[in-house]
Structure 1
Amino acid sequence: MVQLKAEGIKKSFDGRTVLEGVSLNLREGELVSLLGASGGGKTTLFQILAGLSLPDEGHVYINEEEVTGKPGKISYMLQKDLLLPYRTVEDNVALPLLLSGMKKAEARKKASGYFEMFGLEGTEKKYPSQLSGGMRQRAALLRTYLFSRPIALLDEPFSAIDMLTRHTMHEWYLKVMEEIRLSTLFITHDIDEAVLLSDRICILTGTPGNITKEIIIKEAKPRNKDFHVSEEFLEYKREIIRHMEQS
């Protein structure tokens, strides 16, 4: 089932067309990565999908309902966690529920029900400055999920944490996605990360930007622990790099 669909997206700034004719879809339970060079229009596309920016042309649909230019219909998480330093982790996570009109006690209770699943148990009364980078990202991801499930747009959420923590976060995120049936569209510059996490990879290239190739990762998730050194993994990388160099 297609949950999120964009058709014929075009966007220009100051007379320069950044995106033109962009179409993509996200199916239930999928993780689709969007790869492309810096400045190629990936974040602009995400802002349009999230309803934060209007396209010049094209439409966005969630479960066949048009939501073009309508914010609040989908979750969107930036690279920085943007946790409020003066609020506890519990209250940071519960913020979307409070903004929706839920009373504080009820919002805290609902949010706390997910703390164990998201690996945050014991952090409820701590402040963001007391957490590691990985734990801060977990809190931000839970807040994103509570904002508007079951679709998440993630803009390089793991790029600010070290490699070992990132590997642990990858495994954890895939597990949580499966448990809560979360569908994810994911911006990354990291080809390895895209191949390891994705069901499909969409490559955005050109000026103006368009999706010029889609690669299906055939291996089932969770992937074998040695997948990242397999010939199959390396061939996916070669295919992506060849296409990006030629585009």
Structure 2
Amino acid sequence: MITFRSHLFNVVFYLNLAIWLAFASVTFLLPRMAIIRVAQAWGRSNLWLLWVIVGTRIEFRGRERIPRGGLLMAAKHQSFLETFVLIGCVDDPAIILKRELQWIPVFGWLTIKAGMIPVHRGGPNALAAMNQRAAAEAAGGRQIIIFPEGTRRPPGATPGYRSGVAHLYRSLEVPCLPVALNSGIFWPRRHYIRRPGIVTIEFLDPIPAGLERDEFMRRLQHAIETASDRLLAEAERISATPDVALVRQAD
């Protein structure tokens, strides 16, 4: 049954994406916030499909901890799910993303229209360009979203935090909100299976601006990893899927 529901969800997910991309194309003629609102609505539609088809729902914890105004949100990255969930948790998100994603027809053009922030990995002055753009967006009250490990990592994997998040934190001079999650249990990377249960996304205590680089990195990694390990243990203990504890080894 899980296999059938997963296949069905994946088909409907991409059909839904195609419909929303067609609808979103109209926003090229509208102010930037129009595409932001469309993207947030697309994210909510995905969560509804995930619940109806697969039996997976999202639980948010600590939303009251999200500061208003300019913000750096640094999230654990285990699946594609958090890329569309987190944009609905703040008013005006700007995601740090690979420059290559903006080359994708329609989708990439819409990320440009939405004011997302590209980074050319390995390119000369890539960090400086990213920091400059992000600082301007945060100064305007936007919430900058970054995945500090740079790529999706399976549940329980050894952390791989990159220095880019520290450079960004120092440039923006705004609080950093760590985000822990256990999405990789239910939406494994590089796999078509979608598992029923409760995906938990937890917003942790903000890290104030102005810390030294090493202290910031220590606090960020400790907060995210400690909370994410706790959420993974919760999912393995209460999930309705018998083999969910095997995901750490199989992913």
Give the structure-1-normalised TM-score. Answer: 0.41
> Which structure shows the higher strand fraction?
1
